[in-house]
Amino acid sequence: MMPPVFDAVFQEQFASLLVWRRDVRHFRPDPVPDDLLHRLLALAHLAPSVGLSQPWRFVLVDDPARRAAVRANFAACNAAALAGQGTDRAGLYARLKLAGLDTAPRHLGVFVEPEPEQGHGLGRRTMPETVAYSAVAAIHTLWLAARVHGIGLGWVSIVDPAALSAALDVPQNWQFIGYLCLGYPAGEADSPELERQEWETRRPDDTVVIRR
């Protein structure tokens, strides 16, 4: 196999992919075909992992009762978050749509095996959190792959991890990383919804770089 050459056209398209990737909360109900979903998961499985441990575990959630439990978990945590807002931001928070759980045709719980045999412990002795970081890289790979194939992804973090793990009946030692909604997006945008809803604005990139 010859290594690929990424020309200027691809470089521009790749930058455009990053610009137009969104955290999607508005989905069309159209189904995502099984073969496409599995193609996306196979691409996510190419993500980097500490010590080549591939510690990510994907849970495809179809059962209506389990989905309802996740929905209730989110609703309770989101209500608590709303109650914790100051008076200046509570109204704004209440108007945000923070999950597409009701319409997204695909639900995916992402976990890690926190002490995987695979990888033989390499690279995580001083930083065991790199196992979780590997799963985040897999989620981000899935996110970009999904956008490349016209599928939107929304990451739901406003949940109680222990209750979510129980609702999905995963092995006791698995660590919850994130709950993902996937489906065809209701719209496209080159700016974050939280910015369009005036919750927050992005800062220039030179504000996050220092020299030593």
Q: Which of residues 162-201 bind its own copies (CB under 8 A)?
A: 168-170, 177-178, 188, 190, 192, 194-195, 199-201
State how far the alpha carbon of 192 is from the alpha carbons of 151, 154, 183, in Å: 16, 12, 18
Q: Which of 32, 106, 143, 181 binds its own copies (CB under 8 A)?
A: 143
Pick 16 or 103: Cβ nearer its own copies = 16
Q: Please, what is the minimum distance in Å from the beta carbon of residue 146 to its own copies?
A: 11
Tell me if 79 contacts its own copies by CB under 8 A.
no
| Chain center to CA of 71 | 16
Is residue 77 within 8 Å of residue 143, measured between CB atoms? no
Sole binder of its own copies in the list 79, 150, 173, 198 (CB under 8 A): 150
CA 108 to the chain's CA centroid: 9
Beta strand 175-183 with 106-112 is: antiparallel
Q: Which of 32, 101, 159, 182 binds its own copies (CB under 8 A)?
A: 159
Q: Is 109 helix (H, G, I), strand (E, B) or coil?
A: strand
Question: Least CB distance from residue 103 to its own copies, whole Å?
Answer: 20
Give 56's strand partners: 112
Q: Rounded to whole angstroms, what are the CA distances from 207 to 15, 33, 191, 210, 211?
A: 20, 42, 19, 8, 12
104 binds its own copies, rule: CB under 8 A: no
Size of the site for its own copies (CB under 8 A): 98
Q: Is 29 among the residues that bind its own copies (CB under 8 A)?
A: no
Closer of 5 and 30 to its own copies (Cβ): 5
**Chosen residue from 26, 28, 36, 43 binding its own copies by CB under 8 A:** 43
- State whether residue 24 is helix, strand or coil: coil
109-138 footprint of its own copies as x/- string (CB under 8 A):
x--------xxx-xxxxxx-xx-xx--xx-
Strands 152-156 and 175-183: antiparallel
